[in-house]
Amino acid sequence: MKKKDLDWGSLGFGYVSCDYRFVSNYENGAWDEGGLTTDNTLVLSECAGVLQYAQTCFEGLKAYTTEDGRIVTFRPDLNAERMANTCRRLIIPELPEGRFIEAVEKVVKANAAWVPPFGSGATLYIRPFIFGKGPVIGVAPSKEYQFRVFTTPVGPYFKGGVKPITIRVSDYDRAAPRGSGHVKAGLNYAMSLFAIVDAHAKGFDENMYLDPETRTKVEETGGANFLFVTKDGTVVTPKSPSILPSITRRSLMYVAKEILGLKTEEREVYFEEVKDFAECGLCGTAAVISPVGKINDHGKEICFPAGMEKMGEITQKLYDTLTGIQMGRIPAPEGWIHEIA
C-alpha cells in the first residue's frame, strides 16, 4: 500500500480529512450496523440535542506503525469502556465494546495510507464520538444518536515537540465537584475554552486546574493528567473524583512500577508541595508525555530542576518505555497492543 504524500515530520496537531470515516446511527431504540463513508460532512436538525444542550461525548486514541511495519492501536478496550461510562453519565445509549473496536479497526484499515510511517514522529489520531441528533427543545435526552469515527494524522500536541512547556495555575475551574470531570463529555472542553484562549494569549501552553472545591489540590490540565517525580525518584499522580481517568497515565504508572521498578503513588497532591518535586509532566494520548519546565502561579514561578531544554531523567525513561511499547520495540504487557493490519 502506497502512503499518502505528506510531510509527516512537520505535522502539528490538526485536522486533515482522511478518505474514510465510520458512521452508525441509533434510531428506534437500537444501533444499526453502520459502515464506512467518504462523506466528511453532516446534515442535522437545527434542534438536535447536541446543538441545543451539548449532548455529546468523544474519545481519542492513536494508530501506530511498528518498526516491523504492522499497524497497531494501544488499549482500545479502555477507550470503549470509558466511552460507555461517559454515555451512562450523559444518558446516551451505550455502544457495545465490540462494536467500538470493530469501528476503529475498519476506519484505520480503510485509511492505512494515512497512518504515518515508523520513525516519522507522527501518528494517526482516531476520534470516536457520539452525539444526540434527534430534536429536543424541553431539556431532555435525544431519542436518536450518531456514532462516528474519523482519523487525522498528527504530530506533537504542543509546539516544539518534546521540549518542556510552561503552564499557569488557572483561576477558572475545569469541572464542578460531583459534576462531569471524570467523563469525556464535550461540555467539559467547551467550559475550558475561555481559560485556554486566555492562557495562550498570555504566553502559557496550558492551564493547571486545581480542585474546584478547595482550590488547594492539583487536578489536571485541559487535555492531560499530571505526573510528578519526587527528588528520591517516586512517581506521583493526583487522585481525584473530578479528573479524567487517563489511559496513558494508568499505563505509565504500571510501566513505572512493573517495568522500571520505581515507587509509585496515586494520591491527593497539594499545590503547596509541587515546588518540591524534581520533575513534572503531562500525559495523555495527544500529549504522550510532555515535560513541564515551569509553572506560573500568579507571577510566582516554580521552575523544575531539569530546566527548559530537556525532559527530566525519569520522565524520559517513562517516555522511551511507553513509546517503545507502542511502536513495538519493547514487549508489551498482555493485551496492550491491538493489531489492526
The answer to whether 155 contacts ligand COI (rule: CB under 6 A) is no
Is-contact 73 61, C-beta < 8 A?
yes
Task: Return the range that interacts with ligand COI (CB under 6 A); candidates 94-102, 115-123, 259-267, 281-289.
Answer: 281-289
The total number of residues shown for the chain amounts to 341
> Using CB distances below 5 to 8 A depending on partner kind, what does residue 246 bind out of ligand COI, ligand PLP, none?
ligand PLP
Q: Which of ligand PLP, ligand COI, none binds 207 (CB below 5-8 Å, type-dependent)?
A: none
Task: Please state, in angstroms and rounded to a whole number, the distance separating the CA atoms of residues 105 and 127.
Answer: 12
Catalytic site residues?
184
Closest residue to ligand COI in the complex (CB): 60
- Output the DSSP codes for 195-242: HHHHHHHTT-SEEEPBPTTTS-BB-B-SS-EEEEE-TTS-EEEE--TT
- Does position 247 interact with ligand PLP (CB under 6 A)? The reply is yes
Contact between residue 114 and residue 153 where contact means Cβ atoms under 8 Å apart: yes
| 219 binding ligand PLP? (CB under 6 A) | no
Amino acid found at 27: E
For residue 281, the 8-state DSSP code is E
Contact 24, 108 (CB under 8 A): no
By the rule CB under 6 A, 246 interacts with ligand PLP: yes
Judged by CB under 6 A, the chain residues 265 through 284 that form the site for ligand PLP are 284
CB of 103 to ligand PLP, least distance (A): 18
Q: Identify which of residues 136 and 218 has a Cβ nearer to ligand COI in the complex.
A: 218
Confirm or reject binding of residue 56 to ligand PLP (CB under 6 A).
no
Is residue 105 a contact point for ligand PLP (CB under 6 A)? no
- Identify the residue whose cell numbers are 452525539: 131
Helices (H) and strands (E) in the chain, counts: 6, 17
Contacts with ligand PLP by CB under 6 A lie at 60, 220, 223-225, 244, 246-249, 284-285
Contacts with ligand COI by CB under 6 A lie at 60, 223, 284-286
